[in-house]
Amino acid sequence: MPDDAAPLLEVTDLSIRFGKAPTNLVDGVSLTLERGETLCIVGESGCGKSLTALALMGLLPMPPARLMSGRAMFEGRDLLHLPIAELKDIRGDRMAMIFQEPMTSLNPAIKVGEQIAEAVRRHRGASHEEARARALEMLMRVRIPAPEKRLDEYPHQMSGGMRQRAMIAMALANDPALLIADEPTTALDVTVQAQVLDLMRNLQAESNAALIMITHDLGVVAEMADKVAVMYAGRIVEAGPVKAIFDDPQHPYTIGLMSSMPDLGPRGGRLVTIPGVVPPADAMPEGCRFASRCPFAGPDCAEAPPLSDFGGGHRVACWRAPLEQAAEPLQTLGGAR
Amino acid sequence: MSRPDIILETRALKRRFVTHKPLFGAPIEVRAVDGIDLSIRRGETFAIVGESGCGKSTLARMLVRLIDPSEGAVIYDNKDISKLGQKEMRALRSDLQFIFQDPFSSLNPRMTVGALIEEPLRAHGIGTREERRVRVADLLSRVGLMPQHADRYPHEFSGGQRQRIGIARALAASPKVLIGDEPVSALDVSIQAQVVNLLEDLKEEFGLTLIIIAHDLAVIRHMADRVGVMYLGELVEVGPVDEIFANPRHPYTEALIAAIPVPRVGARAKGHAVEGDPPNPIAPPPGCRFHPRCPYAEARCRQERPRLAPIAEGESVACHRHEELSLNGLVEGAAGRAPAAEKRFNLYRAARATSEGAKPSDNSPPPFPSNKE
Ligand SMILES: Nc1ncnc2c1ncn2[C@@H]1O[C@H](COP(=O)(O)OP(=O)(O)OP(=O)(O)O)[C@@H](O)[C@H]1O
Ligand SMILES: Nc1ncnc2c1ncn2[C@@H]1O[C@H](COP(=O)(O)OP(=O)(O)O)[C@@H](O)[C@H]1O
Ligand code: SF4
Ligand code: SF4
Ligand SMILES: [Mg+2]
Ligand SMILES: [Mg+2]
């Protein structure tokens, strides 16, 4: 039996690269997650958020991907070094994943109710009737209107928001302890997004499942997260409790992301941006990977800064943090590069 | 009260699409845009917002006559352009330019960036070849790219850079009105911010009128002077941006604002999401089209269709109950930052200003894959 004092999920030093690429696309990522907790991973596209999630779920084809290092302890087992059969038993049962595009996990040719029932039968050995009853219950729990009727519908007969709910119903059918959601509301209208976020919050409170939610929307983070990991170019550059990240951001990338977002108040001039783009894998800067875009960068940034603890579980990987201490000598460094 | 200077106007504008032709009986139609009266003022930024499928793109495309209206008029500079022939329309085309949402599919992959930007100039017979070459180089630097990028192909650029190319192309013909259909939606927030700044700078520089379609209400809040809210082919509210966000007058506007995920911890009241999906424009509900989802609907709303009517200078709403309802705007505390965050933000801004003085600004990202400068 797994140790009850241990965190539900503990990822240590996860590094992934593709084929003969010179750099890791996920580089030294460590995370912990307690039961019932929500961790949001935020960052621009291409920062390795999805790769991290897929690796944890055992859904990353290896090869071409290569696991360079790492452990991911989940209920006493290392997800990264588990035989396929054992992974398949855990997936869809103890842990489940939901995607931005529901058709990634829904089969277009099978009725929604049957798909959910099948997930229940496979892992629970339930009878046909029990599984169907469970499917109906799940459709009710995700508040799909007329659930009896929807059981016998195909995914394409549903709206985008409804399909997203059906996928959530399937993911939660076996009461997983861990749910990983990769941009689950990015393709939805704001109104439907608000519904789905409310729903996920409620279901999580009921089941005490832990949630890793991947998003690039800081608004969604502020609403959902207990804690946050900010990823840039494959690395976690800042992590901590959600309040610390929003009210006391330390890393120049986090601050740049926040200032790039238009404020909801009356307009206040030009947006303060992050220059340039995320470097492609074959042009990753040595040392701090944010250096090519960072207005605080100096010669010392050619060496990678460690993820240091700033108290209360707030960790930051930047030589200049806290910035106000660094602001003075910075003048002589002359900004980026 | 003098009438504002109107550059572009629509009157009872409609567009239907036939979605299905049964063997017998009438063809099934979707009323994508169903009677829109809109006045865009010269020099303003007007934003159009609404859920997916409500007809925003269809409306925008009719404004530049990328598609023809089924009924009604589009009036540009006192001319009904919906009735113009091909030739007369050609002469006006350069005034009204369009920026597409998808920078990946809206550029012909087999043309160089230079040829893409030059195309509208050639089409309108503007300048000699040499003059056009100079103009292309100038446009590229205006949108934050480099003149030597003219010889490259779109796939060599990142999403944000492709959107810049699309903008340069739209600017080539010296337009008066620029219409962007979700011009920043496909971009990451950092790149989105760069393009939003660019659009605003260009608007200033060229004295443009901007019409922006966006589903991100924060972007709209930032860019727009006035906002039109669409629901199922109709405008349900039009007003100045500050009024729309602080004092929405239509229940649907209230619902949209309540749904904005606010980037401050604990700011948004949870659990106030409007119910239901956007309904199907093939069979819109009778009466007020919003009534199946409206928390304030009453008997009258199920039968009578409310018309968009002025309620104050520059403000209109289509709701039977707008006078009695008192609706909520953006939650208190949605804007602004905590003191420590504000301090860091100011340090960041100062550092950006310093480093921008030392090297080219965010408008000159290095060319895409080889950005190891
Ligand atoms: N060429 C077409 N043929 C048939 N139906 C169409 C066509 N173009 C649009 N429609 C329909 O008209 C309605 C309005 O579409 P439109 O593209 O204008 O919406 P939108 O508000 O731009 O949505 P989105 O936010 O998803 O871009 C939709 O129901 C759409 O399916
Ligand atoms: N199958 C793959 N082969 C090669 N590179 C990949 C593959 N999948 C993802 N990548 C690269 O890995 C990086 C991180 O990707 P991803 O995790 O999808 O980013 P995010 O989810 O943060 O947008 C990107 O540079 C992407 O191009
Ligand atoms: S100051 Fe240096 S270490 Fe800190 S984020 Fe910028 S480049 Fe990286
Ligand atoms: S007319 Fe009635 S149903 Fe329509 S928005 Fe107003 S109150 Fe709601
Ligand atoms: Mg991703
Ligand atoms: Mg559209």
Q: Is the Cβ pair A219, B259 closer than 8 Å?
A: no
Task: Give residue A2's pLDDT.
Answer: 53
CA B347 to chain centre: 32
Cβ distance A292 to A232 under 8 Å? no
The model's confidence at residue A101, banded by pLDDT at 50, 70 and 90, is: confident
pLDDT for A331 beyond 50: no
The answer to whether the Cβ–Cβ distance between B222 and A263 falls below 8 Å is yes
Strand partners, A241: A227
Between these two residues, A301 and A278, which has the higher pLDDT value? A301
Which pLDDT belongs to residue B337?
Answer: 85
Pick the atom of ligand 4 nearest to B289's CA: 4
Instruction: For residue A194, give how far its alpha carbon lies from the nearest alpha carbon of chain B (Å).
Output: 5
Determine if the peptide bond prior to A64 is cis (ω within 30°). yes
Q: How many CA atoms lie within 13 A of A152 on its CB side?
A: 2
Q: How far is the CA of A239 from the centre of ligand 2 (A)?
A: 21
Can you tell me the ipTM of this complex? 0.86
Domain A9-225 fold: Rossmann fold (3.40.50)
- Residues (pLDDT < 70) of chain B are 1-2, 103, 268-273, 357-373
| pLDDT at B363 (0 to 100) | 45
Angle at the Cα of A216 from the Cα atoms of A197 and A59, rounded to 5 degrees: 85
Helix (H) or strand (E) segment spanning residue A65 = strand A65-74
| Of A259, A270, A335, Cβ closest to residue B345 | A259
How many contacts, defined by CB atoms under 8 Å, are there between A and B? 224
Confidence at residue A325, expressed as pLDDT on a 0 to 100 scale: 80
Q: What are the chain B neighbours of A276 within 8 Å (beta carbons)? A: 362, 365-366, 371
Amino acid type, A10: E
C-alpha to C-alpha distance for B142 and A163, rounded to whole angstroms: 44
User: Are A193 and B261 a contacting pair at CB < 8 A?
Assistant: yes
Q: Which residue has the tokens 């420590």?
A: B340
DSSP states along B220-288:
HHHH-SEEEEEETTEEEEEEEHHHHHHS--SHHHHHHHHTSPPSSTT-SPTT-PPPSPPPPTTSPPSSS
Domain locations in chain A as residue ranges: 9-225, 254-334
pLDDT at B313: 86
Instruction: Give the pLDDT score at A4.
Output: 65
Contact of B1 with chain A, judged by CB distance below 8 Å, is answered with no
Confidence of residue A192 (pLDDT cuts 50, 70, 90): confident
A33-37, A226-230, A326-330, B328-332, range with the lowest pLDDT: A326-330
Beta bridge partners of B41: B6
Is the shortest distance between the CB of A100 and ligand 2 below 6 Å?
no
Which residues crowd ion ligand 5, with CB under 5 Å? A 50
Supply the pLDDT for residue B368. Answer: 40
Residue located nearest, by CA, to atom 5 of ligand 2 = A18
Mutation choice for ligand 3 from A251, A284, A293, A318, CB with most ligand atoms inside 8 A? A318
User: What structural domains and CATH numbers belong to chain B?
Assistant: 6-332 (3.40.50.300)
Q: Single out the residue of B318, B283, B320 nearest to residue B36, CA to CA.
A: B318
Are B211 and B178 within 8 A, CB to CB?
Answer: yes
pLDDT one-digit tens code per residue, A108-155: 999 999 999 998 988 888 888 889 999 998 898 888 888 888 899 998
Give contacts of A221 with chain B, Cβ < 8 Å. Answer: 263
The CA A169 to ligand 1 mean position distance, Å, reads 29
The overall average pLDDT reported for chain A is 88
